[in-house]
Structures are given as C-alpha cells and as structure tokens.
Amino acid sequence: MLEPLFFLALAVLTPGVPSLQPPPLALHVDAIIQPDGAIGPGGWIVLRNGRIESIGPAEPPVGCARLEFAGGVAAPGFVDVDTSLGAAGQLSEPARPFTPEVATGDALEPDHSSFLAAARSGVTTVGLMPGGRNIIDGRVAIVRTADDDGRGAQLCGHGPLRYTLSAQAFDGSRVPTSRMGALPQLREMLAKSPAPSSGTSLVAADTADEIRIVIDTFGGAGRSFALLHPTRADDAIELVRGSVSGRPTAAVIGPFDLDTGERDVRVAKLLADGGVAVAFSGGGDGGSLRLTAAVATRSGFDAKAARTGLSLAGARLLGIESEAGTIEAGKRADLVVLDGDPLDLAAKVKLVLVGGAPVEAAKESP
C-alpha cells in the first residue's frame, strides 16, 4: 500500500521536475460512491491533469501510474460549507447591520496549518463563513484545502451571501435592535436588488418562527435560500416541507458529537425526510464531519442522503456542483479513498487527492 503511494508522491511531487506534465494516474478501488450516495461497483478511476478522465471496469490506458486499493472505497472529496478555517482575525464586521460587500476571502490565510489537517481527513473544499452577527453578513469564500502543488489552500471563488435572522444579529447595541425593525429594511433590499442567477442565499435561523420569517421573506421575494443550522426546524417542519411561498432548498447541519441532543439529530432526519437536502458541517474537520454523518445515520438518517451530505449537498450550496461533490468524469479530481464506507467511523482514510494532487499522508504515529 505504502510503496505505490511513495512512488506516486515522488512522481507528482518531485520538486526538481515541476514543469513536467505528471503522468495520468489510475486508481483501482472496490467501490465508488455514486452521485446519489449509493455505494456503487468499483473499478478504475483515471485522473489526468487534475481532473477525472474516466471511471469504469476497463483496464486503464498504458502509461498510467497505477494504484490499487484492496477493499478501497472511493468517495468524492468532502465539502464543508460552514468553517472558519484559515481565517485571519474576525469574520464579522459588527459596526453595521447590513454588510453585503464583505467577502471572507479577504481574510483568508492560505498557509494556515488547519488546511493540511482538513485535507488529510478528506475535506477538499470548504466554505469560509462570515461571522453571523449581521442581518446581511457577507459573502462566503470557497476555498480548496490544497493548491495544485498540494501545499497551501487556494481561494477559488466567492459563494453565496450569508444572512442572519436569529437572535445574535440583534444585541441592542445598534439599530435595528429587533426583527421588527430589521424586516422592513431587509424586505426593501431584497425587492430592490435582483435575485442572483445562480446560487442560493444562506440564512441563519434558529427557532421555528425565525424559520417561518425566512420562508416568508426570502421565499416571498422569490429567492432560492438554504437554512443555516435551523436547530428548531422540527417545530416548523410543516412549513419547511410545504410550499406556501417557497421552501428552503437545503440546510446546513452540524457538527454533531456525542453530546449532541437527540432532538438536534432528529431535526436533520426530519429535514431530509421532508425533501430538504442536508449538508453536514464539521467545522472543517473531516473527522467531525464524518462523526456528524455517523451520528445522524445511527439515528435513522438515510445512508445515501448522509453520503451526499458529506460532499454533493455542500458543493451545491456553494454553487460548485459542476466542479466538485461527486465522482464523475470531467469533474475535478477531489477524491478520498478509505478502507470502508465513509459513514463508518472505523473506516480509515488511505488517500486524499485535491485536484489530482495527493495530500501528504497523515503522519504515522510513533
């Protein structure tokens, strides 16, 4: 196992030959996670120039570097929408309540060590989320956890706007101090500014009534929107499922750990059962992300939806589903190979590729 990896690392990373086009790489695994989250049959995955060239049972073309993983399962690289990885300083601008012009990419520190840790644990793309103290917080930065050389992180675009309608946006220190004061202004802004052609608005709402207000306000304005951490969505589940004036397309849930209350976990399941795509968040840590999915699954969350919740759902929220989120020909080669189902905590990560480049293997413990 280790030897081909070394070979691969040498082939790809040898600093002396940066200009050389790396040879195509073929990975053989026993199972591949399908776009719908099912565990599909394995085969060869051929990667060329940082992209997935082909997937199938056929022998890879001659000249490929070949890596075979007995018992390996290939999953799309994990996408974690809600992180503050590599943030240099605060990600909130609390002086004013409406800051649509803020973009977290401006606070990104690409060399931050947290990116390597994230990449090692299988997370290949993260959203750098604005702070959550403003009614309009700013724009999410989309960051790949490794650049083409596999060394630092790379900002690769701006994602959706984040809004906050939960209590933390109203602390009494600035006008408006209340939802009552904020909503007329927000409605006016939404009415005046054109809806973005693609992507979705991320709105933090906690209680059932906050969720109702989001549905009324954003749905009413014809916006596509997703809910950030709607912890009490169970109380409003009829509204979330229904289509009074628009419904959330997705929800970001997590992280869960052993202490997470049953009720919070149940909310994830209710949302998914209600047709809302759930993207898990582990705060940028792949282990936490998988624990989140595992806890949800153990509580009855559908396994296929849980697997898409690790990658595709997040990619869609960031508007990068054409590039990432699934293992499909033409997409970027963001891959995780494990020795089992990523939902199973017992499964170990064997290889992580970001844009075709292998992430430095996790240090062997002494």
Partner 1 sequence: MVLSSHLASALLAAVAALGDSAAIRGGTIVNPDGTRIDKGVVVIQGGKITAVGGPETAIPPDAVVHEADGKIVFPGMVLAHTQISLDVANENVPVAPFVNVYDAIEPNSAEFEDCLRGAIGTVHVIQGHNTVIGGLSRIVRPAGDMVDYMTVRPDYALKLSITPRGGFNRMTQMAELRAAFANLANHIESVAERRFEEEKKKKDEKVLILPEEAVKQGMALVTIDDLDARWRTLWRASKGEIPLFVHCDRAMDVMHGIEWLKELKLLEKSVFVVGTEAFKAVEALKTAGRPVILSGVLVHKESDPLTGKVTETFVPKVFADAGVPFVLQPNGFGFSADGMLWYQAARCVREGIARDVALKAVTQAAADSIGMGDTLGSLAVGKWGNVAILSGDPLDQATFVDRMLIEGRLAYERANDRRLKELSTGQDLPPAAATAPASSSKN
Partner 2 sequence: MKKEARPRRLRALAGAVTALAAFSPSAVAQFGPAQRPPIVIRGGTVHIGDGDVIQNGTVILRGREIEAVGVGLTVPEGANVIDAVGRHVYPGLIDVESTLLLDDASRVNGEGNAASAITDALDWFDRHAYEQAWAGGVTTIGIASRRALVDGPRAVVKMRRARGDDAILRKDGDLGVTFGLNGIRPSMRLREWKTLFEQLDATKKYIESWDEYAEKLEEYKKALEKSAKEGEKVAPGDKKEKEEATPKPEAPAPGDGTPRGQGERRRGPRPNPRGHHDHDTPFMRWLQDTLGWVCDCGLPSRENPGHDHEPSKLTLVDGVSFAEEPAKPEGETAKDGAKADEPKKPARPAKDLQREALKRALEGKSGVNVYVSAAADIVNLLELLRTYPLKATITGAGELAQVADELAAAGVSVVVVQSHQLGDDAVSTAAKLDAAGVSIALTTAGHTPAATRWLSLSAAAAVAGGLDKERALAAITSRAAAVLGVADRVGTLAVGRDADVVITQGELFSSTAVIEHVFIDGRNVRER
Partner 3 sequence: MIATLLAAALTATPGTAPETASAATPALPRSLADAVVLQAAEVHVGDGTVYKPGVVIVQDGRIVAVGAGLPIPAGGQVIDCGAAFLTPGLVDAACQLGTNALFGSAEQGSEVIPQLDTGDVLDYFSLEFEQLAADGVTTVFVTGEASAVISAKGVAVKTAGPIAERRLAPTKPCVKATLGAETSGRGAFNRSPSRFGGGPSYAIRRPTTRMGSAWVFRKALHDSIAFRDAGRASSDGLDPAAMRALGDVLSGATSLRMQVREALDFDTSVRLADEFGLQFVFEYATEAAQRLDVIAARKIPVIFGPVRQSDSTFESFESATPALETPKLLAEHGIVFCLTASDGSGDGGLARQTGLAIRFGLDRAKALRAVTVDAAAIAGLDQRVGRLAPGLDADLVVWNGKPFDDASKPVLVLISGRPVVDVQGRFRKENP
Query: Binding of partner 1 at residue 259 (CB under 8 A)?
Result: no
Q: Give the integer Cα–Cα distance in Å for 113 and 336.
A: 20
Query: Binding of partner 2 at residue 183 (CB under 8 A)?
Result: no
Site for partner 1 in 213-242 (CB under 8 A): 232, 234-235
Which range in 208-216, 279-287, 328-336, 352-360 contacts partner 3 by CB under 8 A?
208-216
Which range in 1-9, 33-41, 216-224, 259-267 contacts partner 1 by CB under 8 A?
259-267
Query: Binding of partner 3 at residue 239 (CB under 8 A)?
Result: yes
Of the candidate residues 11, 13, 361, 362, the single one contacting partner 2 (CB under 8 A): 362
DSSP letters for 193-262: SPPPSSS-EEEE--SHHHHHHHIIIIIHTT--EEEE--TTGGGGHHHHHS-SS---SEEEE----TTS-H
Query: Binding of partner 2 at residue 99 (CB under 8 A)?
Result: no
Query: Binding of partner 2 at residue 121 (CB under 8 A)?
Result: yes
Minimum distance from residue 266 beta carbon to partner 1 (Å)? 6
Q: Among partner 3, partner 1, partner 2, none, what binds residue 171 when CB lies within 5 to 8 Å by partner kind?
A: partner 3
In terms of Cα–Cα distance, which of 143, 141, 142, 130 is closest to 99?
130
Task: Calculate the alpha carbon distances from 324 to 110, 163, 240, 260, 313 in Å.
Answer: 20, 24, 27, 29, 10
Query: Binding of partner 1 at residue 209 (CB under 8 A)?
Result: no
Minimum distance from residue 270 beta carbon to partner 3 (Å)? 15
Of the candidate residues 4, 50, 176, 220, the single one contacting partner 3 (CB under 8 A): 176
Q: Among partner 1, partner 3, partner 2, none, what binds residue 234 when CB lies within 5 to 8 Å by partner kind?
A: partner 1
Of the candidate residues 205, 295, 335, 354, the single one contacting partner 2 (CB under 8 A): 295
Query: Binding of partner 3 at residue 183 (CB under 8 A)?
Result: yes
Q: Give the integer Cα–Cα distance in Å for 288 and 306.
A: 14
Token pair for residue 325? 């989120």
Minimum distance from residue 99 beta carbon to partner 3 (Å)? 17
Instruction: Decide if 42 contacts 29 (C-beta within 8 A).
Output: yes
Residue 259 or 364 having the CB closest to partner 1: 259
Phi, psi of 209, rounded to the nearest 5 degrees: -75, -30
Task: Calculate the alpha carbon distances from 117 to 114, 123, 229, 237 in Å.
Answer: 5, 9, 24, 36
Instruction: Decide if 284 contacts 87 (C-beta within 8 A).
Output: no
Minimum distance from residue 305 beta carbon to partner 2 (Å)? 12
Angle at 204 between CA 235 and CA 109, to 5 degrees: 145
Which range in 8-16, 79-87, 89-97, 251-259 contacts partner 2 by CB under 8 A?
251-259
Q: Among partner 1, partner 3, partner 2, none, what binds residue 266 when CB lies within 5 to 8 Å by partner kind?
A: partner 1
**Which residue type sits at 137?**
D
Q: Is 136 helix (H, G, I), strand (E, B) or coil?
A: strand
Of the candidate residues 25, 55, 204, 294, the single one contacting partner 2 (CB under 8 A): 294
Burial of 303 per CB tally in 10 Å (0-12, 13-18, 19+): middle
Q: Among partner 3, partner 2, partner 1, none, what binds residue 121 when CB lies within 5 to 8 Å by partner kind?
A: partner 2
Long-range Cβ contact pairs of 179-187 (< 8 A, separation 24 or more): 179/210, 179/213, 182/97, 182/135, 183/213, 183/217, 185/98, 185/135, 186/98, 186/135, 186/136, 186/217, 187/217, 187/220, 187/221
- In the complex, the residues that contact partner 1 under the rule CB under 8 A are 232, 234-235, 261-263, 266
- In the complex, the residues that contact partner 2 under the rule CB under 8 A are 117, 120-121, 257-262, 285-288, 290-291, 293-295, 297-298, 303, 306, 341, 343-349, 362, 365
- In the complex, the residues that contact partner 3 under the rule CB under 8 A are 170-181, 183-184, 207-209, 212-213, 235-236, 239, 244
